[in-house]
Structure 1
Amino acid sequence: MSMPATAMTDGNAAVAGMNGPSLSDADFNFLRTFVYEHCGISLGEHKRQLVQGRLVRRLRALKLRDFGAYCEVLRRDPQAELGELASAISTNVTAFFRESHHFDLLTNELLPRWIAEKKNGGRLRIWSAGCATGEEPYTLAMVLAEALEKHGSHVDAKILATDLSPQALETARKGVYPIDRLEGVSVERRRRWFLRGEGDYDQYACVHPRLRELVSILPLNLLHDWPMQGPFDAIFCRNVVIYFDKPTKQRLFQRYAGLLPEGGYLFLGHSESMYGLNDNFDLIGRTVYRKRSA
């Protein structure tokens, strides 16, 4: 919980925290600049209390006395703390089969077509960019595994899942979720693709080894260099660009276009749009874009 702004002894306005150090103007401005340059996330003044409240936990974890000391950590070694910072200030809201119409399109149209086209040695690749705690890539793995069984299992098919947050990636790698997180998964799929825990873990479920085989989980900052060269048949970047300003979105969409072949698909979140940001794509469904022919 935060309290109203008060005057600090150094003359800077600050938001005083009831249970922790306050965030001065100078430290907040440094954090805003740092986060924008390294994560592409634009923090307005209205985010000040949120930043203070969430970063207090990092101060405690690192045993730092105040936000000034935390800013010094970022100055000395930006990369070491970057993932933790990004995780703290962003909201990783996700779910299995979230925005189910995207997975219906994959199941009913795209995966059967791709598998048929690639039976003679082609590669099928999907990228979950901003995979958070793993629900999205494992949902992709479910529909992919089912399509391979139905239409041809001898296709080289893989899913790349990336995120900046160390905590989110750790959860994704474990693939263990509370039972109530499986709400969007049908009873049939729960039985097929999850292993129920026992004893102290009876309220948890672990993803099936077959899904793990299909998914590679790696750390990646979308603003930095990308080691993969593609091409990807589809890129899922849902509920990620909502944090970015217009120039950052434009650069990101252009980079995605470079990793998609003609006719490749880009999936965005329900509150996101590419309107006026890139002319390489056509909108063909609800937040579904297809790369145009040259």
Structure 2
Amino acid sequence: MLKARTGILLGEHKREMAIRTLGMRARRMGAESVGAYLSVLAQSPDSAEWHDFVNAFTINHTAFFREQHHFEILKKFVRTRSKPISIWCAAASTGEEPYSLAMTLREALPAAQGQCRVWATDIDTQAIARARKGVYTLERVKDIPEELLKKYFLRGTAAKAGLVRVKPILRDMIDFEPLNLLDPRWPVDGKFDAIFCRNTMIYFDRDTQSVLLDRFAPLLKKDGLLFAGHSENFTYLTKRFKLQGQTVYTAVG
């Protein structure tokens, strides 16, 4: 059910975790068994429990400026592009990546404020809700350069000590939205200079990866870039993209 709905493929090594998670969800729903719980899900594909079920299996391992070389490439790349600049962060998780993208855009193009947008999506509705709030512990932002931390974050005081909040100048650059990449239609308005879909395709089978790559390609502007995760290789999956740098691709044709 999870794979059919989301494309997420759980390996055998996650079998025990899946059993525990299903048991927990079944108990919370008051279902007599896991089988009964799955039957309820099958009969209610648009229910709130479906979202909670999917959220329980998503992985939100992320960090600010993760895979730093991508942001250096992006900074140089956007300086060569005509305005406006539009970037899609297709696996936004709890917001660290899209906020890193927004900081990169502001630092690269200080005179182009208001002409740079980030569309940040994720299938995990709880993660997107956290991303919208833009509140993080000091531990989560420890790798952000102090100059950027002062420039783009507010430090909490009193009861909020130990927390930081993203400033509106950064938050207002980003449109957060829940999205299942397997949805037959994406609410896309226009094309993108770059698409970040990093460390997500590894959870899909090869057929699903190929389908998504074929859907990404026409959404990129001419010479636009697709950024992949460090363990992802799309070279043999599709003819729609060619490798341009370390886990960076450009559309063909």
Q: Identify the TM-score tier after normalising by the shorter chain.
A: over 0.9
- The reply to whether residue 68 of structure 1 matches residue 35 of structure 2 is yes
- The reply to whether residue 172 of structure 1 matches residue 131 of structure 2 is yes
Q: Is the 8 A contact 1:124 1:155 kept in 2?
A: no
Counterpart for residue 103 of structure 1:
71
Counterpart for residue 55 of structure 2:
87
Matched residue type, 2:206: K
Q: Kindly report which structure 2 residues correspond to 1:158-237, keeping only aligned pairs within 5 A, or say none.
A: 158-224=117-183, 225-237=185-197
Counterpart for residue 221 of structure 2:
261
Q: Relative to 1, partners in 2 of residues 1:200 and 1:154: Cα closer, same or farther, differing over 3 Å?
A: closer
Counterpart for residue 198 of structure 2:
238
Pick which of 181-190 and 132-141 moved more.
181-190
How many equivalent residue pairs?
251
- How much identity, in percent, do the aligned residues show? 43
Distance 2:218 2:172 in 1: 27
Q: Is the 8 A contact 1:249 1:277 kept in 2?
A: yes
- The reply to whether residue 132 of structure 1 matches residue 99 of structure 2 is no
Matched residue type, 2:150: R
Distance 2:135 2:30 in 1: 30
Counterpart for residue 285 of structure 1:
245
Q: Is the 8 A contact 1:127 1:232 kept in 2?
A: yes
Deviation at 1:154, TM superposition (A): 5.5
Deviation at 1:153, TM superposition (A): 2.2
Matched residue type, 2:42: R
Distance 1:282 1:168 in 2: 31
TM-score by length of 2: 0.94
Query: For 1:136-188, what per-residue CA distance to the aligned partner results, in whole angstroms no more than 9, with x for missing partners?
Result: 00000111122231xx2255221000011111011101100111001220111
Q: Is the 8 A contact 1:237 1:266 kept in 2?
A: yes
Matched residue type, 2:29: L
Q: Relative to 1, partners in 2 of residues 1:178 and 1:55: Cα closer, same or farther, differing over 3 Å?
A: farther
Distance 1:166 1:63 in 2: 23
SS of corresponding position for 1:98: coil
Q: 2:109 aligns with which of 114, 131, 148?
A: 148
Query: For 1:95-141, what per-residue CA distance to the aligned partner results, in whole angstroms no more than 9, with x for missing partners?
Result: 0000000001112x112112xx22xxxx3110000100000000001
Q: Relative to 1, partners in 2 of residues 1:154 and 1:195: Cα closer, same or farther, differing over 3 Å?
A: closer
Structure 2 alignment gaps of length 5 or more = none
SS of corresponding position for 2:121: strand
TM-score by length of 1: 0.81
Pick the structure with greater CA Rg.
Answer: 1
Structure 1 alignment gaps of length 5 or more = 1-33
Deviation at 1:65, TM superposition (A): 3.7
Distance 2:119 2:249 in 1: 19
Q: Is the 8 A contact 2:128 2:176 kept in 1?
A: yes
Matched residue type, 1:209: P
Matched residue type, 2:55: S
Distance 1:291 1:61 in 2: 46
Distance 2:204 2:225 in 1: 21
